Structure 1
Amino acid sequence: MSTTVSPLAPKSYPDMPEIDGVQFATAEAGIKYEGRTDVLLVTVSEETTVAGVFTKSKCSSAPVDWCKDKLPGGKARALLVNSGNANAFTGKKGRASVELSADIVANSLGCAKDEIYLASTGVIGEPLPAEKFSRVIEELKNAQDGANWLDAAKAIMTTDTYPKVATSTVELDGETVTINGIAKGAGMIAPDMATMLSFVFTDAAIAPDVLQDLLSGETGGSFNAVTVDSDTSTSDTVLFFATGSAAAKGVAPVTSLDDPRVSVLRAALGDVMLDLAHQIVRDGEGARKFVEVRVEGAESNSSAKTIALSIANSPLVKTAVAGEDANWGRVVMAVGKAGEPADRDRLAIWFGDIRVAVEGERDPDYSEEAASAVMQQEDIFLRVDLGLGDGVATVWTCDLTKEYVAINGDYRS
Structure 2
Amino acid sequence: MAKSDDKKAKPSDAEKLKVLKKKLKKLKATVKQAAAGLETRAGSAAESAVAAIRAAKPNKLVSPLAPARFPDLPVIEGAEFASGAAGIKYQGRTDVMLVRLAPGTAIAGAFTRSSTRAACVLDCQAKLAGKPDAAAGAAIIVNSGNANAFTGKGGQEAVDSVTGGVAKALGLPRERVFSSSTGVIGEPLPAQRITAIIGDLAAKLDPAGAPGAARAIMTTDTFAKGSAASFQGEGGTINIVGIAKGSGMIAPDMATMLVYIFTDAQIAPAMLQRMLSARVDETFNAITVDSDTSTSDALILAATGKSKAAPITDLRSVPARAFGKALTQVMRDLAQQVVRDGEGATKFVEVQVTGAADTADAHKVAMAIANSPLVKTAIAGEDANWGRVVAAVGKSGAAADRDKLTIRFGDMVLAENGWRAPSYDEEKASAYMKRAELVIGVDLGLGKGKRTVWTCDLTHRYIDINADYRS
TM range (shorter): over 0.9
The structure having more radius of gyration, on CA atoms, is 2
1:110, distance to aligned residue in structure 2 (A): 1.0
The answer to whether 1:329 aligns with 2:359 is no
Give the structure 2 partner of residue 398 of structure 1: 456
The answer to whether 1:13 aligns with 2:74 is no
Counterpart CA distance in 1 for 2:175 and 2:313 is: 23
Q: 1:362 to 1:18 in 2, by over 3 A?
A: same
1:258, distance to aligned residue in structure 2 (A): 4.4
Q: 2:420 aligns with which of 356, 362, 386?
A: 362
The answer to whether 1:117 aligns with 2:178 is yes
Give the structure 2 partner of residue 23 of structure 1: 80
Give the structure 1 partner of residue 48 of structure 2: none
Task: Answer whether contact 1:201 1:242 (CA < 8 A) is retained.
Answer: yes
Secondary structure of the residue that 1:245 maps to in structure 2? coil
Q: 1:385 to 1:195 in 2, by over 3 A?
A: closer
1:354, distance to aligned residue in structure 2 (A): 1.0
1:34, distance to aligned residue in structure 2 (A): 2.0
Q: 2:101 aligns with which of 36, 40, 44?
A: 44
1:252, distance to aligned residue in structure 2 (A): 2.3
Counterpart CA distance in 2 for 1:129 and 1:106 is: 18
Task: Answer whether contact 2:80 2:209 (CA < 8 A) is retained.
Answer: no
Task: Answer whether contact 2:368 2:393 (CA < 8 A) is retained.
Answer: yes
Give the structure 2 partner of residue 66 of structure 1: 123
Q: 2:191 aligns with which of 118, 127, 130?
A: 130
1:36, distance to aligned residue in structure 2 (A): 1.3
1:35, distance to aligned residue in structure 2 (A): 2.0
Counterpart CA distance in 2 for 1:16 and 1:369 is: 44
Give the structure 1 partner of residue 55 of structure 2: none
1:262-341 correspondence to structure 2 within 5 Å:
262-341=320-399
TM-score, normalised on structure 1?
0.97
Give the structure 2 partner of residue 203 of structure 1: 264
1:89, distance to aligned residue in structure 2 (A): 0.5
Counterpart CA distance in 2 for 1:99 and 1:115 is: 12
Q: Which runs of 4+ in 1 moved over 6 A?
A: none
Counterpart CA distance in 2 for 1:406 and 1:216 is: 35
Task: Answer whether contact 2:250 2:290 (CA < 8 A) is retained.
Answer: yes
Q: Give aligned-pair identity as a percent.
A: 55
Task: Answer whether contact 1:324 1:376 (CA < 8 A) is retained.
Answer: yes
Count matched residues: 410
The answer to whether 1:153 aligns with 2:153 is no
Task: Answer whether contact 1:342 1:386 (CA < 8 A) is retained.
Answer: yes
Q: Which has the higher contact order (CA 8 A, sep 6+)?
A: 1
Counterpart CA distance in 1 for 2:258 and 2:123 is: 15
Q: 1:195 to 1:172 in 2, by over 3 A?
A: closer
Task: Answer whether contact 1:188 1:195 (CA < 8 A) is retained.
Answer: no
The answer to whether 1:4 aligns with 2:4 is no
Task: Answer whether contact 1:2 1:160 (CA < 8 A) is retained.
Answer: no
Task: Name the aligned partner's letter for residue 25 of structure 1.
Answer: A
Task: Answer whether contact 2:256 2:284 (CA < 8 A) is retained.
Answer: no
1:239, distance to aligned residue in structure 2 (A): 0.3
Counterpart CA distance in 2 for 1:195 and 1:47 is: 26
Counterpart CA distance in 2 for 1:33 and 1:161 is: 16
1:77-92 correspondence to structure 2 within 5 Å:
77-92=138-153
Task: Name the aligned partner's letter for residue 162 of structure 1.
Answer: F
Secondary structure of the residue that 2:271 maps to in structure 1? helix
Q: 1:2 to 1:34 in 2, by over 3 A?
A: farther
TM-score, normalised on structure 2?
0.85
Deviations 1:72-115 (A, max 9, x none): 33645100000010110111000101111111001111110000
Task: Name the aligned partner's letter for residue 13 of structure 1.
Answer: F
Deviations 1:306-355 (A, max 9, x none): 10000000000000000000000000000000111000111110111111
Secondary structure of the residue that 2:227 maps to in structure 1? strand
Task: Name the aligned partner's letter for residue 232 of structure 2.
Answer: E
Counterpart CA distance in 2 for 1:194 and 1:322 is: 26
1:345-384 correspondence to structure 2 within 5 Å:
345-384=403-442
1:106-255 correspondence to structure 2 within 5 Å:
106-193=167-254, 196-246=257-307, 249=308, 251-255=309-313
1:257, distance to aligned residue in structure 2 (A): 3.0
1:3, distance to aligned residue in structure 2 (A): 1.7
Secondary structure of the residue that 1:42 maps to in structure 2? strand
Counterpart CA distance in 1 for 2:252 and 2:426 is: 33
Task: Answer whether contact 1:7 1:288 (CA < 8 A) is retained.
Answer: yes
Counterpart CA distance in 2 for 1:353 and 1:384 is: 11
1:193, distance to aligned residue in structure 2 (A): 4.2
1:12, distance to aligned residue in structure 2 (A): 2.1
Task: Answer whether contact 2:119 2:148 (CA < 8 A) is retained.
Answer: yes
Task: Answer whether contact 1:207 1:256 (CA < 8 A) is retained.
Answer: no
Deviations 1:239-273 (A, max 9, x none): 00000111xx3x22223434442111111000000
Deviations 1:176-211 (A, max 9, x none): 110000000000001314761000000111100110
